[in-house]
Amino acid sequence: MVSPFTQQGPKGDRSSRGRGRPNGRDSQRIGVPVPLMPPPSFGALTLPPGQMQHMGPNIPHSPGPPLLPGVFMPPFPGPMVWPGAGGVDVNMLSVPPNLHIPPPVAGEHRFTPSMGAGPIHNVHLNQMGPGMGTPTNMSGLGFNQMSTQNREMTHDKPSGGWVPHRHGAPIRKAPSRGEQNDYSQNFVDTGMRPQNFIRELDLTSVAEDYPKLRELIQRKDEIVTNAASPPMYFKCDLRQHVLSPEFFGTKFDVILVDPPWEEYVHRAPGITDHIEYWNAEEIMNLKIEAIADTPSFLFLWVGDGVGLEQGRQCLKKWGFRRCEDVCWVKTNKKNASSGLRHDSRTLLQHSKEHCLMGIKGTVRRSTDGHVIHANIDTDIIIAEEPTDGSTKKPDDMYRIIEHFALGKRRLELFGEDHNIRPGWLTLGKDLSYSNFNKEAYNKNFADSDGKVWQGGGGRNPPPGAPHLIVTTPEIEGLRPKSPPPKN
């Protein structure tokens, strides 16, 4: 019998390289044969001559006389698996030379009633089928039969019978490959997206185990809140309203655009039919380039389909180059449905949306730390999808923008009432009211002479410009930074 973990050469085979002993998983491999050996045959052996001494309390523990030729010695060290109920590890020991074996007597048991059945001598080798190694009229373990062990416990994997759904749904057939760890199959059965099971998504839980990150986020939120201007909004139809710096009295550092793409209408037929969508050409004709300062940043929601390519064309037309792609992974914990979405315009089940980020001008992380704070947030947002077919985006997008860009002049286009936010100017047709005043708005960013900084000519704003949020030494000591230039 050769151990499956025998080393080959000085390094051993590749399956056991780098470890001196097998771990617990090696014994659970699927399809690994469990070595079973038949009981030894005593036919060719004889008992030692003479009367054998009975086992008694007077037998000393010291080594006895040399073993006689009739004593069986196991040829392999260590435990051996004998056929039995589930396989039993048995250490075969030498037979003492003076052990008395009583002869069989008719009508009496050879062994005591407490002993189990003896070894199976009728072992069939080279037998085909799942029960090889056992007599044809007997079921059980055989010689070198394949083990059916699995990495999963028996109670972890549902049977093939009918079981009640754990979410309280009607009785149904258990998933073929297991509901507990097969999230794709669970999505097909219940409509619950795999991302629904990601835990600790809120910002407090994410930063709970990282004290420095938690302190950094708290300090960033504090300076953003203190420097935010009162929320302003203007109700207008962007098809007729022309975007110009003369209307606003300034240009903007950050522009967030959430246009009504055509794919929004087809996303939930019957619910989103009332949405008035824009085609790509109409969106591209917005005069974003006229109101974007240098440097500035654009965040454009593009959906999850053809808007990805059309959004890149918009960025290029408006004078921005794409630098990031923020992805919103949408959960449906409150609106899961077992029916899959069948859309002739898609090939896969869509459960995400993209927001392209563009930059105008040149900003260096090593020298422009008063303009941007990079690498504070990730480019993934995991948040619940609205249940009413709304195109509302998660509020985490505002947090990412405000943590990154230190410019206070922020504009959002195609906004609604729920988008009104301190520090932002919101424009949209679906707003209920308007309170925008150009003079009052620009006072938040003007210097002592009443002038608002305007970039251009390849120059970035200096530290301490009135339209920038002033950072603190504590934040500078906590936030990720690029190494300063050597020269």
Cβ within 8 Å of residue 372, ≥6 positions away? 363, 365, 404, 405, 406
Question: For residue 425, what are its two tokens?
Answer: 């100017």
Domain ranges of the chain: 219-457+466-478
Pick from 311, 258, 317, 309: which is nearest to 285 by CA?
Answer: 317
- Report which DSSP code applies to 331: E
- pLDDT of 73-119, one tens digit each? 555 555 544 444 444 444 445 455 565 666 666 665 555 555 445 55
The type of residue at 50 is G
The sheet carrying 352-360 orders its strands as 232-235, 424-428, 410-413, 252-257, 292-303, 352-360, 321-331, 380-384
Q: Is the backbone of residue 389 left (phi > 0), alpha (psi -120 to 50) or beta?
A: left
Pick from 396, 377, 410: which is nearest to 479 by CA?
Answer: 377
Q: Is the backbone of residue 393 left (phi > 0), alpha (psi -120 to 50) or beta?
A: beta
| Percent of the chain with pLDDT strictly greater than 90 | 41
- Cβ proximity of 254 and 409 under 8 Å: yes
Least confident of 48-52, 198-202, 289-293, 378-382: 48-52
The string of DSSP letters for 449-477 reads TSPBP--BTTBPPPTT-TTB----HHHHH
Cβ within 8 Å of residue 215, ≥6 positions away? 474, 478
- pLDDT of 21-55, one tens digit each? 545 444 444 455 555 555 555 454 555 555 655 55
Give dist(CA 230, CA 55) in Å, integer: 99
pLDDT greater than 90 at residue 374: yes
User: What homologous superfamily does CATH list for 219-457+466-478?
Assistant: Vaccinia Virus protein VP39 (3.40.50.150)
Cβ within 8 Å of residue 454, ≥6 positions away? 250, 251, 293
pLDDT of residue 387: 81
Whole-prediction pTM: 0.63
- pLDDT of 438-468, one tens digit each? 999 999 999 888 888 887 667 899 999 999 9
Q: Which residues pair with 33 in a beta bridge?
A: 146
Q: How many CB atoms lie within 10 A of CB 12?
A: 15
| Residue 270 CA, distance from chain mean position | 33
pLDDT of residue 352: 93
